[in-house]
Structure 1
Amino acid sequence: MDGDKIILGMDIGGTNMRFGLIDKDCRLSAFTIKKTRLILDCSDPVLTLAGCVKDYCREHLGSRLPDAVALGFPSAIDRSRRIVCSTPNIKGLGDNLPVADIMERELGVPTYINRDVNFLLFYDTYFHGLPSHATVLGFYVGTGFGNAVSVDGKLLLGKNGVAAELGHIPVLGKDTPCGCGNRGCVEYYASGLGLERIQAHSFPHTPVGRLFKEHGDALELLEYIDWLSIPIATEINIFDPDYIVLGGGVLQMEAFPQKLLEKRILEHTRKPYPAANLSVLYSSPHQENGVIGAGIYALRRLADPSYC
């Protein structure tokens, strides 16, 4: 590829939307954060998003356009990586939106979309220097319970493109409606939203960000760790991975019991293997990770259009 390639990477979350420019060496510049609702809570969110991207490019690139745009959504994305199928945790984004086609038409450059957790896993694989042939599982606990799977350097997509939706496996005996439309999903309990429900019910006078600092031994929070550990261990038992990566805002909270989570995961992981030599890594606690991961993905797509 040409040495001066510039990618506009975006990480679109339920609260914040992050922008940045990434070069061929994965260096980031012009990192910017905007409130998601100010852009997407409107009658035509994709066109509004395209306008926001144009404004950003004019400010930081002048008359030049980026060589590609890559957007990560907390969404189910179709197999072609062109359509945002559903986004339960962002109000305003509808279903079956042809985001890539609209953005390409409006911007005039290749546009790639994917799940935000896939971009996080791209970044973490790069950051930790993991070998391309490795099987890597990423678990990201933020607003929801995100999961990404990479086998031999390629994302596991599935027939329809929606593989690795670990947060939406059903839990026996639970019937609570989930934002995805199903009932009894593990994400309802094992997520940032689940933690907020615990706070509202049991610790209303403690900010969510201080729950583990002030109430780390409380039964409700110990059970929460189990809610996280069981689906993680289940996927480990299925894939026998080379590495797992744990991340997301919840796991980066003050006094979050990382060692207890690891202990619970190992308790539920099959013996002797994969438990005996499980390699546990943590995602770096930086807001720009998903943006850089988006850039890495776009650079790969430009080099190999068949890569998904």
Structure 2
Amino acid sequence: MEKYYIGIDVGGTNVRMGLVDEKNNILFEEKHKSQPIAHKLDEVVKDFVNKYKNDYHIVAISMGFPGLVDQETRAVIDTPNIRALEGNYLMKLEQELNIPIILGNDVNYLLMYDAEYFNINPKQSVLGFYLGTGFGNAIRIKDELYQGDNGAAGEIGHVPQYLNGINYNDKQSDLESYVSGFKLVEIHKKHFNQTPFERLFIDHFDSKEIQDYLHLLGFYIAAEITILDIATIILGGGVIMSEQFPREYLEKIVKRNLHAKVTVDKLKFYYAESQANSGILGATIYAKNYLSKNQK
């Protein structure tokens, strides 16, 4: 009997759901605005699954969230941008539908999709950096996503930085407060509001604000590459994929701040194409891998 999957990408703006076959073809899909349905996500998912479960052998529901989740309890623990998503409602939903629910981080799912899209060897380690509204990061070591002891690995946007000095008495400002889409909007509004936003990197490339932004981004990418010794890099997200973004310049910053020459020589950058359904397909790919490892 052919197997089918429900892939769900729970984003800050939209929730996208799809019924996907074994060959990663999306047969049916829906899109909802995230905020209005966040408090009743389980009901929306249930309605979608019930449309198809009698006609298709659905073996898993895979959901990617913009935050911290717990696969063991099926709890959505921390989604800072949409608190209404948090809670312990998914275990009950799993029991009602009698279909396994697999949870993960949305950026991890993007990495799974992009690595397959670029035909990167499944046994090869990969780092993904996604700079959009925030700054997300995913880590695949060989063929395993590394998610840490508590599922919070890769939160590069929340590591401390000290561009404007060190705060000795309180929590240090994090990287996302200086390198993110919302920071870029702030820079534009505060310093360059007479320039069209889509020309910010072009017309003000030499400014301190833009150079600080690019160098901080490059430094932290180089730091992770150095720590993990992984030379296959996927870059994506709305900021990096915009036409104005200086990709080659970022690569130069990263390369000149790496310690090992062998890493520089082997370094390869891939740029993720923006596709609305990549989260759905990434969720499906993750579900297949998860089931193959946990149902033996």
TM-score, L = length of structure 1: 0.85
Q: Cα RMSD (Å) of the superposition?
A: 2.4
5+ residue gaps, structure 1: 176-180
Counterparts of 1:161-200 in structure 2 under 5 Å?
A: 161-172=151-162, 173=165, 183-200=172-189
SS in 1 for 2:63: strand
Partner of 2:230: 241
The answer to whether structure 1 residue 149 and structure 2 residue 147 are counterparts is: no
Shift of 1:209: 4.6
Where does structure 1 differ by over 6 angstroms across 4 or more consecutive aligned residues? Answer: none
**Partner amino acid, structure 1, of 2:137:** N
Partner of 1:98: 88
1:74 to 48, 66, 74: 66
Per-residue Cα deviation, 1:2-30 (whole angstroms, up to 9, x for no partner): 4x211111111111222222211112233
Partner of 2:217: 228
**Partner amino acid, structure 2, of 1:50:** D
Distance 1:145 1:81 in 2: 27
5+ residue gaps, structure 2: none
TM-score, L = length of structure 2: 0.88
| Identity within the alignment, % | 36
Partner of 2:149: 159
Shift of 1:217: 4.3
Partner of 1:54: 46
SS in 2 for 1:112: strand
Distance 1:24 1:299 in 2: 9
Distance 1:217 1:18 in 2: 39
Per-residue Cα deviation, 1:111-156 (whole angstroms, up to 9, x for no partner): 1110011101111111111112211111111221111111120011
Distance 1:184 1:260, change over 3 A: same
Distance 1:240 1:283, change over 3 A: same
SS in 1 for 2:244: coil
Partner of 1:204: 193
SS in 1 for 2:85: coil
Distance 1:77 1:57, change over 3 A: closer
Say whether the 8 Å CA contact 1:240–1:274 is kept in structure 2: yes
Counterparts of 1:1-308 in structure 2 under 5 Å?
A: 2=1, 4-40=2-38, 45=39, 48-58=40-50, 61=52, 63-64=54-55, 66-78=58-70, 80=72, 82-94=74-86, 97-172=87-162, 173=165, 183-206=172-195, 208-212=197-201, 214-305=203-294
